[in-house]
Chains A and B, each alone.
Chain A
Amino acid sequence: AQTVTQSQPEMSVQEAETVTLSCTYDTSENNYYLFWYKQPPSRQMILVIRQEAYKQQNATENRFSVNFQKAAKSFSLKISDSQLGDTAMYFCAFLHSNYQLIWGAGTKLIIKP
């Protein structure tokens, strides 16, 4: 069965620092999608970044980038120059071939001023 593991329940860093959130997954599939979603306190879930497994190049969206290691089944999220507005729960998710998203338990990220 496919699983997604986020081993860091909570992290905190100072504003402007760089932080990396880890995610590992387990699958026997070769083609799939991976996502990082952000859920600020009492606000809606929004997509941060997406990675297609067949693409070797790591996805980047402004201050957000991923380190996708397909052989190791690792998909970490790096946030550069962190901002107070980055404080949120971050969820890693894997898209199953039957279109079901498998979610990790989330990492609570706190950016301190």
Chain B
Amino acid sequence: EAGVVQSPRYKIIEKKQPVAFWCNPISGHNTLYWYRQNLGQGPELLIRYENEEAVDDSQLPKDRFSAERLKGVDSTLKIQPAELGDSAVYLCASSPRGIGANVLTFGAGSRLTVL
């Protein structure tokens, strides 16, 4: 079974440029999460989807960040324009319904460097 797939793994951009990250969750997982992880820190939730509905986006900086999960499968996280402080690893995770609902499976992450 394929795990959570993220792309790109690495991205270097100049400030004020746009950037997008893509995530394909585990097949059948209806819950999808985007986290931001700064160096040496734990992950911070940006947004959580249940199917195609964003049920928790309270920590998403909506002035520059946007996300979508069309058809309740793949998801895209966009930053426009990027700022120096956005340099971080962006993690996608997914979880199933039912008894395993509280266990997250993470992707390898997308490391963003903003110059």
Could you tell me which A residues sit within 8 Å of B by CB distance? 33, 35, 43-47, 50, 91, 93, 95, 98-101, 103-106
Contact = CB atoms under 8 A, between A and B. Distances in A.
Nearest to A89: B40
A99 B49 CA distance: 11
A44 B106 contact: yes
12 contacts: A35-B103, A44-B106, A44-B108, A44-B109, A45-B43, A45-B106, A47-B103, A91-B42, A93-B42, A95-B102, A101-B43, A103-B43
B42 A106 contact: yes
- Range of interface residues on B (Cβ < 8 Å): 20 to 34
A27 B93 CA distance: 24
Nearest to B31: A99
Contacts, number: 44
B48 A103 contact: no
A47 B43 contact: no
B56 interface: yes
A101 B104 contact: yes
B107 interface: yes
B41 A106 contact: yes
B29 to A, nearest CB: 14
B interface majority secondary structure = loop
Interface in B7-46: 31, 40-45
A46 B102 CA distance: 13
B40 A33 contact: no
A77 to B, nearest CB: 15
Given A91-B43, A105-B40, A105-B42, 12 more contacts: A44-B3, A45-B43, A45-B106, A47-B103, A50-B103, A93-B42, A98-B56, A99-B31, A99-B102, A101-B45, A106-B40, A106-B41
Contacts of A106: 40-42
B91 interface: yes
B41 A105 contact: yes
Contacts of A35: 103
Contacts of A44: 3, 106-109
A35 B42 CA distance: 13
A44 B93 CA distance: 10
